[in-house]
């Protein structure tokens, strides 16, 4: 049986106009794979990097890393999913911008009954990212309740989840965002402080908030525009946790800078190292599901676009017009 699916593909890297809706044939799952029929698809900034060529991948490329749906067929050796299961995932390889696909089962998790499909599609990649950042990417001196952490782009998809999760852990999250309205949103979601980095000097404000000490860790997904100043927000032995480049990749830097600024640590993390095994993926997902089902983390879906309007969705994300999570509807 040949199944057909609409899917968003690029033939070459470039702007949003490179994304075209095409029809593709979908086969049967092989060993370790499933076929999933999507109910909703998550939009992520990594999709922009993959579309534009910041992260180079083989072409033609079907985009998308996050979705929810119903398992339609299960390949040999897959034991954690069965036909008919509600499921959601953040997973490589890209290809989530479609109606139905075959994909590795490893990162696909059963979606608890209390979480609807749209929420599932809006939270897996972003929520699992916050899960590993706040729990595993920690300064050598550790994090204790009451500690300040600096989190850039706090009103975005990852950001609003981080604000709430940090509050649940007792951390004082200092968020940055690009407008006063976004700062208000970050505060409403649990940020202890919010700084409009388009009009305020965030280094001075962080120093003021922390009594001159600085923070133990900066979570920085903005990249080029915030890198240097973020280092200045850290206290000695602090951790610069870089995990994205929304403003452009961080340029090469001299390690001696880290000594001069107080024997700092730097790491550049990606979710997909943390999702390397079925066991680690499920453990992280269980933590995320518990936070969402327990009400400590609410997933804000602030934008919805039909799949055929994916170009507009990318334009709005890149133009910093979105807040919280965005989904593509089918």
Ligand X SMILES: NC(=O)c1ccc[n+]([C@@H]2O[C@H](COP(=O)([O-])OP(=O)(O)OC[C@H]3O[C@@H](n4cnc5c(N)ncnc54)[C@H](OP(=O)(O)O)[C@@H]3O)[C@@H](O)[C@H]2O)c1
User: Under the rule (CB under 6 A), what is the footprint of ligand X?
Assistant: 44-46, 125-126, 129, 153, 155-159, 177-178, 182, 221-222, 225, 243-244, 246-247, 269-271, 317-318, 320, 322
Cβ of residue 322: shortest distance to ligand X, in angstroms? 6
Please, which residue, 51 or 126, has the CB nearer to ligand X? 126
Q: Please report how close the Cβ of residue 64 comes to ligand X at its closest, in angstroms.
A: 12
In whole angstroms, give the CA distance from residue 218 to residue 52.
Answer: 27
Which of 56, 259 has the CB closer to ligand X? Answer: 56
Helix (H, G, I), strand (E, B) or coil at 104: strand
Helix (H, G, I), strand (E, B) or coil at 74: strand
- CB-wise, 11 or 270, nearer to ligand X? 270
67: left (phi over 0), alpha (psi -120 to 50) or beta: beta
φ/ψ (deg, to 5) at 23: -110, 135
What are the contacts of 78-83 at 24+ separation with CB within 8 A?
78/29, 78/32, 78/33, 78/34, 78/105, 80/105, 80/110, 80/278, 80/282, 81/34, 81/105, 81/108, 81/110
Q: How far is the CB of 175 from ligand X (least distance, A)?
A: 9
The answer to whether residues 28 and 121 touch, using CB atoms and an 8 Å cutoff, is no
The rounded distance, in Å, linking the Cα atoms of 323 and 320 is 8
Per DSSP, 309 falls in state: G
Residue 236 Cβ, how far from ligand X at the closest point, in Å? 26
Residue 102 or 124 having the CB closest to ligand X: 124
> Nearest residue to ligand X, using CB?
156
Select 64 or 157, whichever has its Cβ closest to ligand X.
Answer: 157
Nearer to ligand X, 20 or 198 (CB): 198
Work out how close the CB of 184 gets to ligand X at its nearest, in angstroms, rounded to a whole number. Answer: 12
Residue placing its CB nearer to ligand X in the complex, 63 or 78: 63
What is the total residue count of the chain? 330
CB 249 to ligand X: min, Å: 11
| CB of residue 46 to ligand X, shortest distance in Å | 5
- Rounded to whole angstroms, how far apart are CA atoms 111 and 176? 32
């Amino acid at each position: 049986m040949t199944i057909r699916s609409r899917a968003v593909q690029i033939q070459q890297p470039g702007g949003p106009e490179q994304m075209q809706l095409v029809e593709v044939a979908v086969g049967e799952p092989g060993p370790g794979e499933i076929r999933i029929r999507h109910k909703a698809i998550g939009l992520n900034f990594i999709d922009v990097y993959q579309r534009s060529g910041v992260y180079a991948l083989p072409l033609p490329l079907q985009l998308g890393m996050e979705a929810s749906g119903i398992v339609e067929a299960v390949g040999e050796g897959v034991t954690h999913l069965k036909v008919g299961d509600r499921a959601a995932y953040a997973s490589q390889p890209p290809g989530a911008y479609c109606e139905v696909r075959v994909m590795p089962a490893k990162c696909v998790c059963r979606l608890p009954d209390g979480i609807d499909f749209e929420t599932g599609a809006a939270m897996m990649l972003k929520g699992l990212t916050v899960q590993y950042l706040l729990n595993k990417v920690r300064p050598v001196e550790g994090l204790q309740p009451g500690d300040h952490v600096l989190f850039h782009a706090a009103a975005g998809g990852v950001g609003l989840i981080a604000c709430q999760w940090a509050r649940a852990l007792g951390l004082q999250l200092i968020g940055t965002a690009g407008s006063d309205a976004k700062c208000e949103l970050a505060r409403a979601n649990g940020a202890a402080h919010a700084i409009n980095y388009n009009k305020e000097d965030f280094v001075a404000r962080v120093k003021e908030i922390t009594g001159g000490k600085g923070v133990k860790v900066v979570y920085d997904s903005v990249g080029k525009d915030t890198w240097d100043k973020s280092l200045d927000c850290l206290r000695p032995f602090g951790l610069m946790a870089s995990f994205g480049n929304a403003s452009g990749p961080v340029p090469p830097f001299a390690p001696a800078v880290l000594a001069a600024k107080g024997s700092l640590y730097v790491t550049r993390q990606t979710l997909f190292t943390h999702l390397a095994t079925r066991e680690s993926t499920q453990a992280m997902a269980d933590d995320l599901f518990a936070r969402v089902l327990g009400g400590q983390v609410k997933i804000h879906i602030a934008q919805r676009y039909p799949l055929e309007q994916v170009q507009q969705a990318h334009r709005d994300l890149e133009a910093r017009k979105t807040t919280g999570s965005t989904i593509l509807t089918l």
